[in-house]
Structure 1
């Protein structure tokens, strides 16, 4: 799913001003699931992928993050552990800040904790969407649901490649390409380099209407 979330601008300001700048190479792991979580990060350049390991040890992609996003936010909960692994899929620049330092600065600046609620609520909703998506057996319904949820949460412009959509939905790249071609020919979307533009979100929802009760 799309992991981009509109968060309070105060978050980025604190990380950039008081955090430690780090750069990561493509493929480098920033956080590993299960490790003690002492600091959160703010992405200013590049793209990150969050993932977990399946029963067979294969990596399961969950969502991707672009600049302006918070990651490792489980550190902001007392004595928390990293919930999902995070790796860079392009050269990335981030700012890291210890959780206790972040909360101290947040309080000193008088920022309300409610400003962070949208981030956590959206993360929970996103993982719920991931579970719903996995319930579809038909490939076209799975892709339609994925695109519809991305459109509803982040707008009609979706910056995912066919390969990334395949990784998130658990399908083959060939199947994703075939279904996107069908949707394009039906006038539901248009495609450009590394981007999908949704033209008719209502028609996407009609594709997976049989599971409509999950959207309440």
Structure 2
């Protein structure tokens, strides 16, 4: 099944009938907070499984939304062989390591460092693109805020500062990485995409 950017594969509360294997694109798993904001819990990369609630039945606790055009295969867990279950478990364990690194990302450093880390992370995912102006990542201010436990206003200020300092340039839902080395220094360490 294909989804366009911002389309959901499933919503929180939907029946969890299928496990999904992402074939193309970038997906984020988000939680809707009581104040209406979304908190990005993890990013799903090509080759990753998501919708793991289907392994235990019930309903999806979170929403899975495409950040880029994405394609995923819906799988029925009850039809899995023992080898397929082992492969899913290994994949989910690898994702858990990324989630733990992501948690550290949210807790370490000032917002400027968190934003720099997130932009560098995106540059190693399907959100990375390139045109005549250079390498950029597809991300709105709101999505960056969701991923860095911040607000859109704070992100806009930091992006303006990074732009003024010559590290990035911005366009509609695009952040050009003009100086990745300087951005890495700002990031105080990278968030792993693999």
TM range (shorter): 0.5 to 0.7
CA gap of 1:59–1:99, structure 2 versus 1, over 3 A, is same
Structure with higher helix content: 1
Q: Tell me: CA distance 1:115–1:60, structure 2 relative to 1, closer, same or farther (3 Å).
A: closer
Q: In the alignment, does 2:131 pair up with 1:159? A: no
Instruction: For 1:122 and 1:183, locate their aligned partners in 2 and report how far apart those are by CA, in whole Å.
Output: 32
Could you give the per-residue CA deviations for residues 48-107 of structure 1, whole angstroms, max 9, x where no partner exists? 5412355889642324568886431464x6x47778512447998865221132x34x96
Instruction: Report the secondary structure of 2:123's partner residue.
Output: helix
1:202 matches 2:174: no
TM-score normalised over the length of structure 2: 0.63
When residues 92 and 153 of structure 1 are mapped into structure 2, their CA distance, relative to the original with a 3 A threshold, is closer
Q: Deviations over 1:1-23 (max 9, x none)?
A: xxxxxxxxxxxxxxxxxxxx698
The total of aligned residue pairs comes to 183
Unaligned runs of 5+ in 2: 129-134
Note the aligned Cα RMSD (angstroms): 4.5
2-side partners of 1:63 and 1:196: how far apart? 20
CA contact (8 A) 2:106 2:148 kept: yes
Aligned equivalents of 2:143 and 2:70: distance in 1? 18
Report the equivalent of 1:144. 116
CA distance in 2, matches of 1:190, 1:59: 25
2:159 counterpart SS class:
helix
Q: 1:86 to 1:213 in 2, by over 3 A?
A: closer
Q: What is the TM-score with the length of structure 1 in the denominator?
A: 0.58
Please say if residues 60 and 168 of structure 1, whose CA atoms lie closer than 8 Å, have aligned partners that are also in contact.
yes
Q: Which residue of 2 aligns with 1:133?
A: 105
Q: Which runs of 5+ in 1 are unaligned?
A: 1-20
For 2:47 and 2:136, the matched residues in 1 are separated by: 17
Instruction: Give 2:10's aligned residue.
Output: 30
Matches within 5 A, 1:70-149: 70-73=49-52, 75=54, 79=56, 85-88=62-65, 95-101=73-79, 103-104=80-81, 117=90, 119-120=91-92, 122-136=94-108, 138-149=110-121
4+ aligned runs moved over 4 Å, structure 1 = 21-24, 26-29, 35-38, 42-49, 53-59, 63-70, 80-84, 87-95, 113-117, 152-156, 212-215
